[in-house]
């Protein structure tokens, strides 16, 4: 198996952190949105970021690369 380069790991880490931040934002929007059509779109986007983040974590685990802690609400 070919080891990922540091650039590739950096791209994955950036995607992981971006998804982590997006999850927090979408979670807030889901709590405050009133329009059911908009809520459906936000939920779809939230689900995409969750699935993407899970895939990045799977790659990190496969490559035995530690993932940093996710961004979390206080």
In 3D space, the residue among 31, 36, 38, 15 whose CA is nearest the CA of residue 73 turns out to be 31
Is position 13 within any domain? yes
Tens digits of per-residue pLDDT, 10-66? 999 999 999 999 999 999 999 999 999 999 999 999 999 999 999 999 998 888 887
The count of domains in the chain is: 1
Cut 0.75: pTM above it: yes
pLDDT band at 72 (very low <50, low <70, confident <90, very high): low
In a domain, residue 14? The reply is yes
- Residue 63 exposure: Cα atoms within 13 Å on the Cβ side: 18
Alpha-carbon torsion (7, 12, 15, 17), positive or negative: negative
Q: Which domain holds residue 32?
A: 6-62
pLDDT of residue 74: 57
């Amino acid at each position: 198996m070919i080891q990922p380069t540091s650039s590739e790991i950096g791209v994955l880490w950036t995607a992981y952190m971006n998804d982590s931040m997006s999850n927090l934002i979408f979670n807030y929007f889901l709590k405050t949105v009133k329009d059911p059509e908009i809520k459906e779109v936000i939920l779809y986007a939230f689900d995409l970021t969750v699935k993407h983040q899970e895939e990045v974590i799977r790659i990190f685990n496969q490559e035995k690369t530690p993932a940093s802690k996710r961004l979390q609400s206080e």
